[in-house]
Structure 1
């Protein structure tokens, strides 16, 4: 039986691997790499990599080095794209070679998220997942069939806010979970405490943390995975074991729930059961169905929650925006019913408000890293094969926070998307916040419908204001968590019905079911 690796073995292997990689790279280099911080011998830019809110540091580097930045992480090239022009040119127009995913040692290999759609390498499993998901939510036509359920769950959301306005964040998670778990597994979420919703929430929060660039040293030094948990600095091993058990539960338990219901003939039609019945279950087909369903609700739950919570933060800070949106809803919809998805074409300001929610603080500031499959020449630079390529969606300086395109970019202003005061509308944020190329979010139509429906119905029924405690107004801070999915940090606000008629509409949800 081979002996365990010593710390010296690991160190020597790391140095040897770096030197070999550096020699190969130098021997094949035909053009300069893009500019970037110089770094140190051997380790490159490892010590300069931020461990949280990386998009701010990348934006700072862009001001110094330009919109294509090259980083060296112990011989592993990383390219940061800080402009939409470059992101579209590479990740969209050359998606045939930019659609792979890097191996994330901590989040993918050790914890186990490598089987999810978002981390799957570009290949047959990835294509199976996309094909499965496209059947259910792949386009406007498929999503249209789900709108009645979406609108019903949003009305229940309004009622939860009315009954308990102190727990808006919890109500958002509950509502999004109700929609997605019903679609993915036919699971009907319980009111109050629901174990499956809480399981999904915990797992998706861990996914965001464990896949954040630079968060774990083992992603830079992969051989550290063999270091025993008792060694100094190897505390990630204990965390990885706990999180891996959570990943196994979040993929297995909902799947077994569906199979049991199918055996009992009590199944509600859903994504998983329909595929189990329609697909030929040979090889790893059932495994792929299970993980496609896991990907569907795990990814959709967290991103949509973040966007809707950002909406509440924006309405708390910008009451004039809410008032203008409410005036539009009152004029178009009236006060005798709630707005629905069919009203969307007639609510241009509300539509612009949703675009501004996506732009103001993107839910995935860096997206998920891409991996280049072969050497590429672009703009006079060599981008070497195997490069990790990141689009800084938060910054995208010529798009989401560029004052040349968005006056006062840190101000929440939906009017920037409307042809007012003689100016052209700003670029649509939806073209960038859902990702690029063949890795674009497959659930973007459902997510967008969810966010619009929540925004429109909340605006129609509630006045959202700053909280007051002991006679003092509580000013919310615009602060967001780090991680692959970024959420507003908890803040206080109040939500009260706009009128007696609005309250009546909220309470009528059970009658409309």
Structure 2
């Protein structure tokens, strides 16, 4: 099922004016807000009762927030039906509130549709801050966190990177599908010991649909029920209730996505136990290892949710970043040439890059960082909620406020980055005349107590797929009838921002590269 914003906003906007007049809770919020307005951060003036509901766009919100920050400063506030939204647009304000004050800023907003009705509150990224979230994060970190030596996963990651370039070689016109399949297969192996065998794998299909849904429903202001909880009582068949049909379908999908691969792993473990097969007959995974360490029913629920969180989180970040990388290589051939020269000088044409090469390939690492920054996958991150009043730069940020970090603006701020809209990996390499610019990882993977616990693994995977692709291929704009086709570079506008669909020409960059591919055919088939 595809999901459209119009389905979630089924009540005409003008109706909001009339409903709001009769909702005492909204009026009460308005009165309280009015008394405290003088202490709130500045922002666009709203309308009586409904506030800024017509000012907050449903798509590409970061662009509007950027314009607001230019007019009102790094800390902006708006109200929607009595609810306060705080928008932070500077490293200093984000650091002060989401890092140093993470004890009161690590919760999530209610997100009635996403969390309560669909069930995304089972996923680490959507869980409220508390003991359960800490347990989930610790479980993931113990397996693939920053303190875990990535060399333990190196053989799997390197094998999957090899399979990726082989499939792209054979099907260059199916790049987007191969990116999706390879990333999905790799993380499914890590999370569940499950190998994706085709583009139409049911797990991949469910992931696609789940991410499409969350990109819409996690966007602040996307659903009126977030500001009108009374709409929960409206039957699904009445105007304004259609979102319930969507939520119910999405809930069943997410439950299957959480349960099905988990049950697959449990069945594999039982098969090995019952047949007394060797451990080598099954692929060890986060799920199998975590279940063996603790077989309690409570731990089983944690493992199930942690595994799904790991899979979804890595797929979101890695697929979008890889697609951005290929788009950038088409648009910036000089970057591609410099990256290929570095790989050739370190690795040659006798093999593909491996994780051990990473410390010797600073420009490739810089290409990866720039792919993160160029168009951040989550341009405004996921919203935070204040669990108590906070003071920031002498402004009052009321308890219960939704806090949004405009990551996109920070990563495109001309005061922070030179030529921010240009793909320039060298910005992260210091020289005698220049200093390194801000590392985008400080913003791309979350803040404070909500930093992505799987980022260490995602980085290793992205490094290998980027470096292997550059080692083997020339990535150029397609040519049709002698005319170069310019790619569309307008990224999607939801809470997850993806590159547009594009075609590109992908060919082995030399005879040596093609000879290497030919020599690796047998190895890739044995994996």
Please tell me the TM-score bracket, short chain as reference: over 0.9
Counterpart residue number, 2:356: 342
CA RMSD of aligned residues (A): 2.0
Question: Which residue, 443, 446, 460 being the options, matches 1:432?
Answer: 443
**Where does residue 104 of structure 1 map in the other structure?**
111
From 132, 147, 151, the equivalent of 1:125 is 132
Single out whichever of 374-383 and 232-241 deviates more from structure 2. 232-241
Q: CA deviation at 1:211?
A: 1.2
Q: Name the counterpart of 1:228.
A: 235
Q: How far apart in 2 are the matches of 1:191 and 1:385? A: 48
* Worse-superposed segment, 375-384 or 478-487: 478-487
TM-score, length-normalised on structure 1?
0.94
* 1:157 equivalenced with 2:169 (yes/no): no
Contact 1:155 1:509 in 2 (8 A): no
Cα distance change, pair 30–21 in 1 and its aligned pair in 2 (3 A):
closer
* CA shift for structure 1 position 238: 2.1
Superposed displacement of residue 381, structure 1: 0.4
Instruction: Report the more deviating stretch, 303-312 or 336-345.
Output: 336-345
Q: Return 166-175 or 226-235, whichever deviates more.
A: 226-235
Aligned to 1:198: 205
Distance 1:427 1:509 in 2: 41
Partner residue of 2:155 out of 131, 134, 148? 148
Offset of 1:444 from its aligned partner? Answer: 0.8
Task: Check if 1:253 corresponds to 2:260.
Answer: yes
Q: Secondary structure at the match of 1:495?
A: strand
Report 1:292-303 matches (<5 A).
292-303=306-317
Counterpart secondary structure, 2:409: coil
1:448 to 459, 477, 481: 459
In 1: Cα distance, 2:22 partner to 2:249 partner? 27
Partner of 1:3: none
- Structure 2 unaligned segments of length 5 or more: list them: 1-14, 273-280
Number of aligned residue pairs: 501
Residue-by-residue CA offset, 1:235-264 (whole Å, 9 max, x unaligned): 222222221111111111111111211221
Cα distance 1:207–1:144, how it changes in 2: closer, same or farther (>3 A)? farther
Question: When the two structures are superposed, what TM-score results if normalisation uses the length of structure 2?
Answer: 0.91
Cα 1:281–1:23 change in 2 (3 A) is farther
1:485 maps onto 2:493 in alignment: no
Structure 2 counterpart of 1:383, from 355, 372, 397: 397
Asked if the contact 2:53–2:80 (Cα under 8 Å) also holds between the matched residues in 1, the reply is yes
Q: CA deviation at 1:87?
A: 0.6
Deviation, 1:202, is 2.1
- The partner residue of 2:222 within 212, 215, 233 is 215
Distance 1:361 1:509 in 2: 34
2:54 matched to 1:47?
yes
Distance 2:511 2:62 in 1: 45
Unaligned runs of 5+ in 1: 1-6
Please show how residues 28-427 of structure 1 align to structure 2 within 5 Å.
29=36, 32-265=39-272, 267-282=282-297, 284-396=298-410, 400-420=411-431, 422-427=433-438
Q: How many angstroms does 1:501 deviate by?
A: 2.2
Aligned to 2:276: none
Q: 1:26 to 1:142 in 2, by over 3 A?
A: farther
Structure 2 SS opposite 1:456: helix
1:267 CA displacement: 4.3
Structure-2 residue corresponding to 1:21: 29
> Is the aligned partner of 1:511 residue 2:523?
yes
Task: Tell me, yes or no, if structure 1 residue 494 matches structure 2 residue 505.
Answer: yes
Alpha-carbon contact 1:183-1:270 (below 8 Å) kept? yes
What's the CA shift string for 1:322-342, capped at 9, x where partnerless?
Answer: 001111111111111111111
Residue 140 of structure 1 deviates from its aligned partner by 5.0
Q: Distance in 1 between matches of 2:263 and 2:423?
A: 44
Q: Tell me how far 1:171 sits from its aligned partner.
A: 0.5
Residue 196 of structure 2 aligns to a residue whose secondary structure is coil
Distance 2:449 2:38 in 1: 28
